[in-house]
Every structure is written in structure tokens, then in C-alpha cells.
Amino acid sequence: MLNIAVFVSGNGSNLENILAANIANCQIKLVVSSNKKAYALVRAANHGIDTMILDNEFDESSLLKDLAARKITLIVLAGFMKILNSSFIENFNGQIINIHPSLLPAYGGQGMYGLKVHEAVLKAGDKYSGATVHQVTSIVDGGEIIEQIKVPVFPADTPQSLQRRIQEDGEKILLPAVIKKMCERSLSK
């Protein structure tokens, strides 16, 4: 059984997608938000999941203790708009994944998030974009790629329409599928 903490900052659509997938052998034990007004907190409450808010001055050691107390074995960054520091990442050695709205390594790294990614894809004239789930390391969007999904870019796309298509045809499918595989692998260990 994987005990999961999902880190969010906004709407929580990826959180909802994970919950809707009803993945066997894993349980979301905690939703951690960097934004006290994130709708993801409402989604978590609606599912009876504990929540925690990280302010700018959050105490990493108390967060680590809380995660350990809940026996968290996987952290999923799902629209989390804070960069975790190296010592936190090292504590979870390969057990933190992130979903990014492009086909990494393209359009990743510091400052590449949200509509900025889609604006860059359109400006470059790419025919495809997509979503990537990758391991989190101290290099922003630089960890090992776990899985990707391609999504077409259409001539009439705006950053907003491309973002919606990547969320619906990419992230919604990819993130739950990767988590499901990780849960299945944890059973076979």
C-alpha cells in the first residue's frame, strides 16, 4: 500500500483525477497546499482527506515529522507552485513525482509553469506538446522522466485552449496511470 501526500497550489483538478481513478493499493492521506485559498483544499475536505497549509515560513522538520507519522511513501506534486529544497527532496529519495505540462526536457525549468509553458510552445510553432511525469530532484524539472503523453497543437490554439487540452487529454490520463503503476509495483516488492 502506498500512502500518498498530494502537494497542490490551486484548483486541484489533478487531485480530483487521482481520486476519481479509484486506484487500488494506495491512499491519499494528506493534501498539502502552498495557498490557503486553493480550491484543492475544498476537494480534499469533500473526500475526507486531511489538509495542511504551508506558508512561506513553513518548518520543514515538522512537515517531515507529519509525513512520517502518516507513513507517507509517495509525494505527488500536482500543480504545486513552490520549489522544494534539496534537503527535503533527499529525505524522500526518489519518492517524489511531479506532473509538468510539456514534453520535458522542452519547456521546463525555473519560471516555466502554467500559461508560460503553452505560450512558449505556441511561439516555437511546435506541432505537439503534452505532459510529463518525472522524478523530482533539486534541478527544477530535471529529474528522470517516468512517462509522457503527446497532445497535438492546433493552428488556432491559444495558450488557454492548449492548456485545457493538455489537462484533459494529457494530465488527466497520465498522472493517475503513473500512480497506478507505482502502486502495483509496490505490491510486488
Which residues are annotated as catalytic?
Answer: 100
**What is the residue whose three cell numbers read 495542511?**
52
**What is the residue whose three cell numbers read 503513473?**
178
Q: What CA–CA distance (Å, rounded) separates 154 from 141?
A: 25
Question: Cα separations (Å) of 25 from 17, 37, 118?
Answer: 16, 30, 34
Residues in contact with 114: Cβ distance below 8 Å, sequence separation at least 6, in sequence order: 101, 163
Are 80 and 53 contacting, i.e. CB atoms less than 8 angstroms apart?
Answer: no
Tell me the one-letter amino acid at 89. Answer: I
Nearest to 35 by CA among 78, 66, 81, 4: 81
Query: What secondary structure does DSSP assign to 38-70, as a single string?
Result: -HHHHHHHHTT-EEEE--TT--HHHHHHHHHHT
